[in-house]
């Protein structure tokens, strides 16, 4: 730290939960597994607005992220893939039932 300078500032994380749109963006990023660990660590260290983060202050956020990844990502991804496969099978039945010349 610089001597004689007693003013220290911290910056918010690039992806945070300070407002609703940024919260949705961060959850989308977690759902795609792109940089989700940094978002989780930022959420675990977070405190109130304008309060400096403290290391592992909200350990319950680990539970939130594990539950979100299990239900939000894996379950939704399997549901999405199931719909695609179901539509593929329906189209396959339509094509096979067409009369051939």
Q: What is the pLDDT of residues 14-42, one digit of tens each?
A: 888 888 999 889 988 898 888 899 999 98
pLDDT tens digits, residue range 51-98?
Answer: 788 898 889 999 999 999 888 878 888 888 999 999 999 999 998 887
Cβ partners under 8 Å of residue 29, min gap 6? 15, 35, 36, 39
Rounded to two decimals, what is the model's pTM? 0.64
CA distance 73 to 32: 8
Report the half-sphere exposure of 31 (CA within 13 A, side-chain side). Answer: 13
């Amino acid at each position: 730290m610089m001597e004689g300078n007693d003013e220290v500032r911290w910056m918010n994380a690039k992806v945070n939960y300070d407002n609703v749109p940024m919260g949705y963006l961060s959850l989308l990023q977690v759902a795609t597994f792109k940089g989700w660990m940094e978002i989780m660590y930022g959420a675990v260290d977070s405190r109130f607005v304008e309060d400096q983060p403290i290391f592992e202050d909200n350990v319950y956020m680990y539970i939130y992220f594990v539950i979100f990844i299990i239900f939000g990502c894996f379950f939704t991804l399997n549901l999405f893939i199931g719909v695609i496969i179901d539509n593929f099978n329906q189209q396959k039945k339509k094509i096979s039932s067409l009369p051939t010349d």
